[in-house]
Structure 1
């Protein structure tokens, strides 16, 4: 049976601001709040900002531009965009989307925790023993096993998260995703500015800020500090696992891609610094109350920072109930806007591959992801499973994806000049050949170093003293699942034709240098026969 030609109009962001806010909503997530402050503190304080800025300019922004160029030029979520770029690269697109699928399944659980703690804040239920409450009474953490014991206090808000996901995805790009971000991102900014102002007025806040920003220049000689800087930029910008490719594909044909990318990148980094100020000001207060140094506190990063250390601060703050609601409400917003961006790529990919409606894809994604999410991450072993899957999905899966994307696009199918031409044709900020150099040389080198180092550490030292069988199932098993699923999904037939497509603006191969110097003189905005 012949495939059909897709004739429906592709959805679009209603305006540039909507796209930028949605992209910021994707980039600004839970990691900005609970990971950056701790990584910066351990990486030399103020000195860490040097490798952090270099990593942003040499890796984060170039790879973000690559995602934008692929999605905007080839008009599809990752699998379709890669297929249109070169047919045999489709599995890489599905590998990225399956990483998004895996990340979404456990990421939703953290949003559910934040929802619960938002409610708990009104009567400070966690105040007496924050650590005991989080690990014991709330999560009921048990042994590392494949548990079937559902914790109702986690399962109920988790189901609500997936219901909200279904509604937002069903409403579409402009009516759902964009609207959530247009409302959510300003609210998140207001909430965090309020938290920063309050934190700066607490006793001991200055001590906390000194701990964070006092530079330790000797730390810059440690390769691990540079790796940490590149890792933070890499993971916080939502690059290399299909999100930004999908977002860019919904941009209008004449959209300023590089300038909006710069806004998103620097907004993300600015929020991380803002989060660092808020977190370490409050940690300074906690250290002051306990009569210890900030460095002597436990839990300066990750879930423990948000759900154990921060509640301990709130328990001693004036009006702690109010500020607890603000903090955990901000976590919910930051997490949910990121979750929606992750799942839009999954939903759009299935919609394009299977030829189903937007609502059908939304229902399918929410149902499958929600079922797995509740079954695995609302159990007594949910926290351990979440931590393990997250470690492998991000540090192995996403890094591998970025390496493959850079090598394939720049060196094997040699699309660097075409993608550079595309960005320069539609954008006011032009990218030079150094962009291709950064992607084709620097990115594979530093990412490969990160990947190899991490694999060696995980194989030789294990992870968090968890049993080997557990790491095989939830760690390496996660990577195996994404690879197998990528090839299975590639093998499925496309319901709609992917062949009748012409990228716009067309690259004039007989005059590449002239084309790359600026927009083609003949570009009139037509789609040159493209079926959207």
Structure 2
């Protein structure tokens, strides 16, 4: 007997879940720095161009595919074209790895959330993070044992993932998104309001938004804009096709893509204002230029900001709690979406019950994630994240565009989404999917490879990059091909919708 596919309770539930997946750690600690270092206010030109020529078109592609073929990402692609099923499994393998190191970052966020109440990181935040907390080893091959506080946090994160995904789409993920997204927005608004009132905040905001028009002519700035849009919308990770497959038959797909993209964009700008206002305060306090304070990624969140909070008195405690709560909630909604994308694929393939799959997956996840709780965990995260983002996800997105644009035919998906959407997209979408997106992603990929060859990432030894970087890309492709050869449990799959 064929199963009926689970569905979202409301369209708003789906949109909030999609936004929750898109709004992650990168919105808070990556976008502000990318905008600042790529022309400030002038960066908005390539950024919005990238949203309209890659972000929204690819979201429509993934929403349309998932909704039309009604399955997890591998099943969706298999129903569209069986020979390409491996392309559906590759991002699932990549997402599994991302989820494991994401749980480590969330573990850090929880630890720093508890430290915020007493500013327990001390005066030397750099030493505390690397030596006292992570006990960072000398190299990626020097594991040096388990860091217990990190492992405890990882176990807790997986337990939360299990509780939410065990309950399913409507009672678990949708309910979480409806609660967490408003809280996340309120926290960020409070941070921004307080941030812009701090003495010296204008120094950071001026640096962030003052346009450097000469940067617009630099191809690398355009690559950065496309990279930011591409990575921040959870495209090519297996999430959005899976989420769209739970939508009712009559759903405004096109409008949902626009709402998701612009909501994610709005949160990025809000984060940028809050982050640079606080950085301006720090620069003013220390009597140095913003350039000497600004940072990106892990350094911003766990070294620079704790240092800022340390000199702010009581407000430092309050903002510390709010900031790390924000990091945790943003990361949690993304982590849950990864769990769902992976578990949904397994459920479709082997026809096990959701509760059994989620339970086993979370137990296995804890075991694998424990590798990241070793003293070499930060090195593994750094290398794997670089290679998965710059090569794995970009190639998957490129191949998705080729598959839909040239094999399934772009008009097939466009006709489907237009038939159920209030806002109709024209043939411009076909042109973008067939020509513009593949061209841009090929250029991005080529630039990354050339840079990698000329300057090996992070100054790491070649053996480290081969072991934790290139091998991860090869693993994703290999496992994708192997798993695609295994038959689907036809007696337990959902009604197929054939391509037009």
Q: Which residue of 1 aligns with 2:444?
A: 450
How far apart are 1:498 and its partner, in Å? Answer: 8.1
1:292 aligns with 2:293: no
Q: Which residue of 2 aligns with 1:86?
A: 81
TM-score (norm 1): 0.92
Q: Which residue of 2 aligns with 1:193?
A: 189
Encode CA deviations 1:226-258: one digit per residue, 9 max, x unaligned: 100000000000011211000000011111111
Q: 1:334 to 1:20 in 2, by over 3 A?
A: same
Q: 1:337 to 1:500 in 2, by over 3 A?
A: closer
Q: Which residue of 1 aligns with 2:380?
A: 385
1:131 aligns with 2:94: no
Q: Which residue of 2 aligns with 1:336?
A: 332
TM-score (norm 2): 0.98
Report the count of equivalent residues: 498
Kept in 2, the 8 Å contact 1:84–1:499? The answer is: no
How far apart are 1:89 and its partner, in Å? Answer: 1.1
How far apart are 1:318 and its partner, in Å? Answer: 3.1
Q: Which residue of 1 aligns with 2:481?
A: 487
Encode CA deviations 1:376-416: one digit per residue, 9 max, x unaligned: 211101001101000001110000001111112211x2331
Q: Which residue of 2 aligns with 1:478?
A: 472
Secondary structure of the residue aligned to 1:439 is: helix
Encode CA deviations 1:317-338: one digit per residue, 9 max, x unaligned: 1321111011001100000000
1:40 aligns with 2:35: yes
Q: Which residue of 2 aligns with 1:66?
A: 61
Q: Output the aligned Cα RMSD.
A: 1.3
Instruction: Give the structure with the higher percent helix.
Output: 2
Q: Hey, what's the Cα distance between the residues in 2 that align with 1:149 and 1:25?
A: 34
Q: Hey, what's the Cα distance between the residues in 1 that align with 2:422 and 2:341?
A: 27
Encode CA deviations 1:394-452: one digit per residue, 9 max, x unaligned: 110000001111112211x2331110011001111111111010011011111011111
Gaps of 5+ in 2: none
Q: Which residue of 2 aligns with 1:365?
A: 361
Kept in 2, the 8 Å contact 1:37–1:276? The answer is: yes
Q: 5 Å matches for 1:11-26?
A: 11-26=6-21
Kept in 2, the 8 Å contact 1:127–1:314? The answer is: no
How far apart are 1:500 and its partner, in Å? Answer: 7.7
1:219 aligns with 2:215: yes
Q: Hey, what's the Cα distance between the residues in 1 that align with 2:490 and 2:312?
A: 58
Secondary structure of the residue aligned to 1:414 is: helix
Q: Which residue of 2 aligns with 1:261?
A: 257
Secondary structure of the residue aligned to 2:425 is: coil
Gaps of 5+ in 1: 1-5, 508-532
Bigger shift: residues 157-166 or 413-422: 413-422
Q: Hey, what's the Cα distance between the residues in 1 that align with 2:121 and 2:263?
A: 33
Q: Hey, what's the Cα distance between the residues in 1 that align with 2:325 and 2:494?
A: 46
1:230 aligns with 2:208: no
Q: 5 Å matches for 1:452-471?
A: 452-471=446-465
